[in-house]
Structure formats: C-alpha cells, structure tokens
Structure 1
Amino acid sequence: MFDVVTGGAGFIGSHLVDTLVAQGNEVLVIDSLYAGRRQTIARHIDDYKVRFIQSDLLGDGWQEHLEGADRIFHLAADPDVRQSAINPDPTLQNNIMATYRVLEAMRLYAVPELVFTSTSTVYGDAKIIPTPEDYAPMLPVSVYGATKLACEALISSYCHSFGMKSWIYRFANIVGERSGHGVITDFIRKLKENPAELEILGDGKQVKSYLEVHECVAAMLFALRSRDTVNIYNIGSEDWIDVRSIAEIVAEEMHLPNIKFRFTGGERGWVGDVPRMQLSIDRIKSRRWKPEIGSQDSVRIATRDLLKAL
C-alpha cells in the first residue's frame, strides 16, 4: 500500500505516519513544516521507511510524486480557529485552495482514495447534542469551520465527478503528545509563565468532547472498511468535560495546588468558539468501533505526555 500523508509531520499526522509505517506501508509525507516538525518523523526518514518532501501545497513540484499512490491522507491545514477571525485569508488559502489542489493532483495522477480530516465546528451551534453526521442546517460560526465545510463539498463533488472514494472525519478535540495548540497547551504555557494564576477564556463552563490522539488514529483506520463513494464519520468520545475541569487537571499534573483561576467572562472563549460540543459516534459504533477512554482520561493522558516532552 502506497500512502501519501499531507501534514504528516504535524500533530495527528505524525501519529498516523507511525501507525502506517508499523503496518509496513510505503509512506510519502508532504509537509511545509510551517506547523509541523521534521523531528516527529525523523526516525522513519533515517530508516528509509518514509520519503519526505518539504513543500507548500499552494506551490508546485509535489504533484508528480503522487503517481502510483493508493490513498492520500490530507491532514495539512491551518487549524487556528481564533486567528481565522482576525485574518481569514491564510485559513481560506491553506484549507480550501490547498484541498482543491490536492484533489486536482489526484485527478491528474489517478489517485483513487482520499481521507480528509474535518472538524466538529462544521456543525456550528448545533441544537441537537450529541450531534449526528446528518444534522442540518450546518451553519459554522467560525471562518475555520466554514473552510472545512467548503472542503467537504469540494471532496464530494470530485468523488462523484471523477470516480474517487473519500472518507471525511469530523473530529472532536483531539489531544495528546506532540500537540502544538489547544486548551491544554495554552494552560501549560500560561502556568509556566505564572504558576500562581491561570487566565481562562470565557466563563470556564464551556463543555466539549476530547479524544486522545492514538484513539483518533485507530478510528480513522478502522472506518476505512466502509466503501461508499463518500463516507462521513464523527470521531470523538462519548462524553464531555468543561474547561474549568481541564484547568484543574493541568494544575494537578503540574503539582500546583493553590492556583487562582481568572475568567475573562462570556459564554464563548473567543470569536468563533462553540460553547457546547459533543458528537454522536453512533455511526462508527455501528461498525463496531468505540473509544476505550473518555474525555477526562484523554485530557489527563495528554497533559502528562505534553509535560514529559518539556
């Protein structure tokens, strides 16, 4: 099996590469290293188990390397929800245009399958929680969520127009080792700078679903058993946790028992934030997969792994 992973030096991408290499697959990673780090996959490159191309998908020169590929895992994206409300253009370019260029390269080089990592934010402020894949109307409240929904539409159109198959995964909050952004990373950074007080965006009552990255990768590969033209799955845990509880776990794991929490106030932590999110995973459970751990354990494991790496 010849797999291509865009964004394969990033957080989720590098864990996916670890698993694909362990399965004995031929793996090509394409990453600009804007957010990813070569060191996350360096051992595979040094062992000649992974070919690596440093390239921006908005540029050229990477497309011909797709010839003969069986499947593309397209994880490369601009994941910064907050920044997309300040300067939308990089998010539009790195999500929508980059995905279009991947699809065009697939069409030209006859790559038959695409796996795309989408997000729970495509649902916006969903009125049904847990939110199923067929929820409507999908009204994103962030530019980031809107770009991912646009990518899903492009992928569906290419699959139906050009005979491709795709798997679209709408993720909850994925956390764990090598993560470079998100609430846990933010809390650790803030507490390193000021161990006495922690600023928490919003009122701390935002509740969301979290899933540890190894569980996420396992779900991604498991769902490939489905063979429809477009296969859409939510991937997350079966529960949720509030932001204040996450702060308490991080403080506990950093051995800081007397932290003062300071809340910025408001239901949303930032423009585009979704205060309540839990995905229904009944569809992937019907295929006989479900996560072995929930949100609280995912957050605690991720916190420990991130602290070990410091």
Structure 2
Amino acid sequence: MNLENKTILVTGGAGLVGSCLARQLAADNDIRVVDDLSNGVRDSVPDDVTFLEGDLSTRETLEETVTADVDAVFHCAVADKYVNSDDPRTQFDENVDMTHALLERMDAVGVSNVAFTSSSTVYGEAPRPTPEDYAPLEPISAYGAAKLAEESLLSVYAHTRNISVWSFRFANVVGPRFGAGVVPDFVEKLAADPQELTILGNGRQEKSYMHVSDCVDAIEHAIERTADSAGPMRIFNLGTRTTTSVDRIADIVSEEMNLDPTYSYTGGSRGWTGDVPKMQLSIEKLSALGWKPAYSSDEAVRRVASDLAADLETVSPVSNA
C-alpha cells in the first residue's frame, strides 16, 4: 500500500507512537487524529492534522471519525497502556470492545486497511529471539491477553470481511516524552532523589528497547513494501537486534543526568506481576524487506535519557567523580 495522498485516521494519535506516526505521515497525506486524552497529550498532536477529542467506544465518535473516505486506519489507541494494570479485567474488556467496535464501523462504511500496534507481550515467556510464527502464544499479563484477543479479531475481519491488516508486535518503544516506561520512570525518580534509585525486581531483566523514530519508520516501510501475496493478515515484529538490562538503563540515565546514585532493589526476577523478564524479538521478517533500525537498544535508551534529562531544569548535577 502506497502511503501518499491518502486520508488516514490515527487512533490514539496523542500518544507516543500515534503522534509520531501522525507527524511523519502528514507530510504526504491528509491525517485525522482521534484521542480521548486519557493516555495521550494534546500538545503532542501535530498542528497540521485534524484533531478530534473523543472516545472510540462511543458510536458518536466512531461515526464522526471512521467515514467512507478514509483509506486506512492506524489503530494505536489503548484503553489502559500499563502492562501491570490495577484493573486487568476492565483493561481487557475495554481494549477488545474498542477494537471490535472499530472493525465493525470500518466494515460498515467500507474502510479496508488497518495497521494495529500490538505488543511483544502476546508471546509470554518465549525463546529468544522470538519469531512471528512462534507457538503457542501464552501471554502472562492481561495487557498481553488483550493484544492477542485484538489480533484474533483482526484476523477474523481480515479473512471474512476483506480488510487488509498489518499487526506490529512492538518491543519496548521509547521516546522523548515523560510517561510510562522505565526510562522516564528513572529520570523522574532521580529528579526527586538524586542520591538513590529504587529499581523494580533485581535489575537483571533484559529487553529490547526501540526508539520511536525507528518504530514509525519500520511501520511505514513494512506497509509500503508488503506484497499482495502476503495474504490479508500481515504480522511483523518491531525491535532491535540488541537488548539492554534494567541495571544498564539505570547507568545510562545516571550518566546523562550527571548523577552517581546508589541502587536499591525490590527483589525478584520480575519488575511486577505479569512482567516478562527477558525479551528479544526476531526482526528477520522485517529485515527481509530491507529495513534495519538506526539505533541499537542501548543507543535508543541513551538518546531518550539525554532528551528527558535536558528537559529538566530543577535537577542539581552531581559529579560522577
């Protein structure tokens, strides 16, 4: 699918990935963004797109945003972005219901292309690097279960309603904005207390971290280069070929903030219930289309830590000497 001169709807377009996608796609397309701002930030939405604050679970918002002239939907919206949600049942129900309602509306008005932001959490604790065809898929969090259920719905509509689907299973995506994730968490903790950093788990959790600029480049690259013969349901892993431990992230953040804190640990091999301690995705399928990340996992973490640290004006530097 060529991504030029199209009318594209980005759901969750005030979030980290959605806003970056909207900004990149707006150069060559008419972009519409819908977000209820429960997770997103209004200032993240580019000025040159049409924005609607609305809840995709409502009929009114769906009818206003998913119209017959839309060529593709980039579905980035999540009802609850936290893997360790305090209310996992509601998180599961709301995300699955939202995606089902979106697909029903797309089918009703004839919108036939959708790109979905899925997650590595659908795999659960799988051998590394994990390929797209790994089975069985056994998520260990409600967030992962919701993403897998949403993928299942997308597959049904791809095979029965003539909708072309691209589902992108993300590694940990990091970007230059405070919010969820270990990098902003560490920056915020060290801004509050430059002397000590509390780390969830044992610090030896090790995962792949992908810069958001690489993430949106990979999405656009895959959509534009997927052959029609690939079938209606196209699944791609997005990540890097390298991983970074939580202890290493703490070191990088401390270096970028010019601090030398002591580390304390909550203990255990997981940061929280449902955490997958070790994660690395195979990106061979995407690589075969000619794509590779610009940043390694460590480089992505350092770039974001540097950007976030630069935004802080209240932290007094502490010498590493």
One of 248, 252, 261 as aligned partner of 1:249: 252
What is the 5 A alignment of 1:23-102? 24-41=28-45, 43-44=46-47, 49-64=48-63, 65-67=65-67, 68-77=69-78, 78-83=80-85, 86-102=86-102
1:23-49 residue CA offsets vs partner (Å, 9 max, x unmatched): x200110100111111112x52xxxx3
1:246-277 residue CA offsets vs partner (Å, 9 max, x unmatched): 000001111102x1100111011100000100
Once residues 309 and 70 of structure 1 are traced to their aligned partners in structure 2, the CA distance between those partners, rounded to angstroms, is 37
Once residues 97 and 136 of structure 2 are traced to their aligned partners in structure 1, the CA distance between those partners, rounded to angstroms, is 24
Once residues 26 and 264 of structure 1 are traced to their aligned partners in structure 2, the CA distance between those partners, rounded to angstroms, is 48
One of 213, 216, 235 as aligned partner of 2:238: 235
Q: SS at 2:184's partner residue?
A: helix
Q: Is the CA contact 1:172–1:236 (under 8 Å) kept in the aligned structure 2?
A: yes
Once residues 178 and 242 of structure 2 are traced to their aligned partners in structure 1, the CA distance between those partners, rounded to angstroms, is 21
Q: Is the CA contact 1:11–1:179 (under 8 Å) kept in the aligned structure 2?
A: no
Deviates more, 1:70-79 or 1:57-66: 57-66
Q: SS at 2:14's partner residue?
A: coil
**What TM-score do you get using the length of structure 2 for normalisation?**
0.91
Q: SS at 1:115's partner residue?
A: strand
Once residues 284 and 106 of structure 1 are traced to their aligned partners in structure 2, the CA distance between those partners, rounded to angstroms, is 27
Q: SS at 2:156's partner residue?
A: helix
Q: Is the CA contact 2:89–2:142 (under 8 Å) kept in the aligned structure 1?
A: no
- Paired residues, number: 300
One of 3, 8, 19 as aligned partner of 1:3: 8
Q: Is the CA contact 1:176–1:306 (under 8 Å) kept in the aligned structure 2?
A: no
**What TM-score do you get using the length of structure 1 for normalisation?**
0.94
Instruction: Tell me which residue corresponds to 1:156.
Output: 155
What is the 5 A alignment of 1:134-173? 134-173=133-172
Instruction: Tell me which residue corresponds to 2:180.
Output: 181
Deviates more, 1:207-216 or 1:223-232: 223-232
Once residues 44 and 298 of structure 2 are traced to their aligned partners in structure 1, the CA distance between those partners, rounded to angstroms, is 26
Q: Is the CA contact 2:177–2:184 (under 8 Å) kept in the aligned structure 1?
A: no
Q: Give the percent of matched residue pairs that are identical in Structure 1 and Structure 2.
A: 44
Once residues 167 and 200 of structure 2 are traced to their aligned partners in structure 1, the CA distance between those partners, rounded to angstroms, is 30
Q: SS at 1:61's partner residue?
A: helix
- Measured after TM superposition, the shift of residue 50 of structure 1 is 1.2
The amino acid that maps onto 1:265 is G
Q: SS at 1:82's partner residue?
A: coil
1:6-34 residue CA offsets vs partner (Å, 9 max, x unmatched): 00011111111110112x20011010011
The amino acid that maps onto 1:267 is S
- Measured after TM superposition, the shift of residue 60 of structure 1 is 2.2
What is the 5 A alignment of 1:96-115? 96-115=96-115
Instruction: Tell me which residue corresponds to 1:132.
Output: 131
Once residues 109 and 93 of structure 2 are traced to their aligned partners in structure 1, the CA distance between those partners, rounded to angstroms, is 23
Once residues 133 and 16 of structure 2 are traced to their aligned partners in structure 1, the CA distance between those partners, rounded to angstroms, is 28
Once residues 11 and 307 of structure 1 are traced to their aligned partners in structure 2, the CA distance between those partners, rounded to angstroms, is 18
- Measured after TM superposition, the shift of residue 59 of structure 1 is 1.5
Once residues 308 and 28 of structure 1 are traced to their aligned partners in structure 2, the CA distance between those partners, rounded to angstroms, is 31
Instruction: Tell me which residue corresponds to 2:25.
Output: 20
* Structure 1: runs of 5 or more not aligned: none
Instruction: Tell me which residue corresponds to 2:270.
Output: 268
Instruction: Tell me which residue corresponds to 1:291.
Output: 293
- Measured after TM superposition, the shift of residue 112 of structure 1 is 0.7
Q: Is the CA contact 2:174–2:210 (under 8 Å) kept in the aligned structure 1?
A: yes
The amino acid that maps onto 2:275 is D
Q: Which runs of 4+ in 1 moved over 4 A?
A: none
1:232-251 residue CA offsets vs partner (Å, 9 max, x unmatched): 00000001010000000001
CA RMSD of aligned residues (A): 1.1
- Measured after TM superposition, the shift of residue 194 of structure 1 is 1.1
Once residues 108 and 54 of structure 1 are traced to their aligned partners in structure 2, the CA distance between those partners, rounded to angstroms, is 22
The amino acid that maps onto 1:30 is V
